[in-house]
Amino acid sequence: MTDQTMTIRQMCDAFKVTARTLRFYEAKELLFPIREGQKRLFTKRDRARLKLILKGKRFGFSLEEIRQLLNLYDDDSGKFNQLNETYRMAIDRLEQLIRRRDELEELIEDLRNHMDWASEQLNDSQTSLKVACG
């Protein structure tokens, strides 16, 4: 409400998430909004954490993995080990993404071939094929 904290609605608008999601993240100890009466007020720290949560999610990390990563960042001591651990996880994730992309290329080829075959069953579908496949 002050310019240091945000209401749940402001958070939703700012980060394009639902209130349910923010409450869920609090329940899972990923966020720690302070309370003004019953109402949650999200701090700068919560916003920083949420940014990392959403990024982590896009990379396919589970919330539990993200919670661990966040805790690592919070821990002041031993930054070297923390970063190395983070790094190891990121490398794993990257390799997964690359494998997925490669498999996806394969399936795209498969489906294109199937469509080429299917198009021979028709006489008039060349146009839509070209539209779809460039």
Partner DNA sequence: AAGACGATAACGTGGCGTCAGGGTGG
Partner DNA sequence: CCCACCCTGACGCCACGTTATCGTCT
Contact residues for a copy of itself, defined by CB under 8 A: 55, 58-59, 79-80, 83-84, 86-88, 90-91, 93-95, 97-98, 100-101, 103-105, 107-108, 110-112, 114-115, 118-119, 121-122, 125, 128-129, 131-133
Least separation in angstroms between residue 45's CB and a copy of itself is 17
Least separation in angstroms between residue 47's CB and DNA is 15
Region of 33-41, 94-102, 103-111, 121-129 interacting with DNA (CB under 7 A): 33-41
Instruction: Kindly report the backbone phi and psi dihedral angles of residue 41, in degrees, each rounded to the nearest multiple of 5, phi listed first.
Output: -125, 125
8 touches DNA (CB under 7 A) = yes
> Which residue in this structure is represented by tokens 């294109």?
112
Question: What are the C-alpha distances in Å from 7 to residues 30, 52, 56?
Answer: 17, 19, 23
31, 42 Cβ separation under 8 angstroms: yes
> Which residue in this structure is represented by tokens 């498969």?
110
